[in-house]
Amino acid sequence: MTITDRAQDTGWNQRYGATEEPDHTEVPDVVRLQLAHRSVRRFLPGEVSDDELRTLVAAAQSAPTSSNLQPWSVVAVRDPQRRRRLSTLAARQQFVAEAPLLLVWVADLGRARRLAERRGHKLEAADYLETALIGFIDVALAAQNAVVAAESLGLGSCFVGAIRNNPEDVAAELGLPAHAVAAFGLAVGRPDPAEHAGVKPRLPQEAVLHQETYDAERADAQLTAYDERLTHYNERYGLVGGWTDRVLTRLAGPESMAGRHRLREALEQLGLPVR
């Protein structure tokens, strides 16, 4: 079953459970596609075409961008040897090496720096945390647009946060200029229908949606039931534990961050100081 097919027969039930089915009569196709999203880590043979890549980038560039700064770039990696090296740097995740296309999304303040240099213009605001945040936020918005576009084309994808495990080495591998850092990767290809994976349940909307003011007690009351639901999902796919255990383990301390605890230092070295 392709992602497009799955979008026709899944939606709220798999994402939330039957109790949160909305009363409206029709769900737009793009929302069905979003509700059916899952990470894909097994891909069929075959390339992602140049036309498909250009479509993904066009969708990405159609995302909002703060003050039209457009402070991001993307590196398309098709070479198997380079993908293998990047896979090693990204926690040795095999799907990174096996995907026909790896898009590495870059928070790129280098373009503005070079513009200022050519004009002999000061660019002091680029040294502040706000500007670095804009770079990371805008590149994330762009990449998510590309994910939805990919799924509309019958492609699947999986974000690769482990690209940040070794930011200096990734920058060297990709020849990134100063003032640019790889924010994350995105493995792209045609999903293998034999992959044993499903639409992962998310927190109930009552846990994340607040009306007018933040109600922590009401939101947190949803967590026990969600833990049970995600535990059942994980068991079905050979995983262990619920949501709470995974959150606490992932955020336990520097030792759980796979090298990313030194990200501030890496940003400084790559020319993204964060005052």
Q: Which of 28-32, 195-199, 220-224 has the lowest mean pLDDT?
A: 28-32
Phi, psi for residue 184 in degrees, rounded to 5: -175, 165
* pTM reported for the whole predicted model: 0.93
Q: What is the pLDDT of residue 20?
A: 54
Q: Is the pLDDT of residue 164 over 80?
A: yes
pLDDT of residue 80: 98
Q: Domains plus CATH for the chain? A: 1-37 (no CATH), 39-194 (3.40.109.10)
Which residues have CB under 8 Å from 253's CB, separation 6+? none
pLDDT at 11: 72
Separation of alpha carbons 171 and 75, rounded Å: 11
Record the tokens describing residue 97, joined without a space: 């090496």
Per-residue pLDDT tens for 101-120?
999 999 999 999 999 999 99
245 pLDDT tier (thresholds 50, 70, 90): very high
Query: pLDDT band at residue 23, thresholds of 50, 70 and 90?
Result: low
Residue 27 — pLDDT band, cuts 50, 70, 90? confident
Residue 153 DSSP label: T
DSSP-derived secondary structure letter, 43 = B
Top pLDDT among 25 and 45 is at 45
Q: What is the mean pLDDT of the chain?
A: 93
Q: Is the pLDDT of residue 203 over 60?
A: yes
| Mean pLDDT computed over 163-176 | 98
pLDDT at 4: 47
Cα 75 to Cα 79: distance, rounded to the nearest angstrom: 12
H or E element in which residue 52 lies: helix 50-61
Length of the chain: 275
d(CA 264, CA 249): 22
> How far separated are the first and last CA of the chain, in Å rounded?
49
With a pLDDT cut of 90, the percent of the chain lying above it is 87
CA distance 36 to 229: 18
Helix (H/G/I), strand (E/B), else coil: 248: helix
CA distance 164 to 140: 14
Residue with tokens 């090496």: 97
**pLDDT in the model for residue 26:** 75
Tokens 């994976």 sit at which residue? Answer: 197
User: Do the beta carbons of residue 154 and residue 3 sit within 8 Å?
Assistant: yes
The kind and range of the H/E element at 181 are: strand 180-189
Q: What is the pLDDT of residue 28?
A: 87
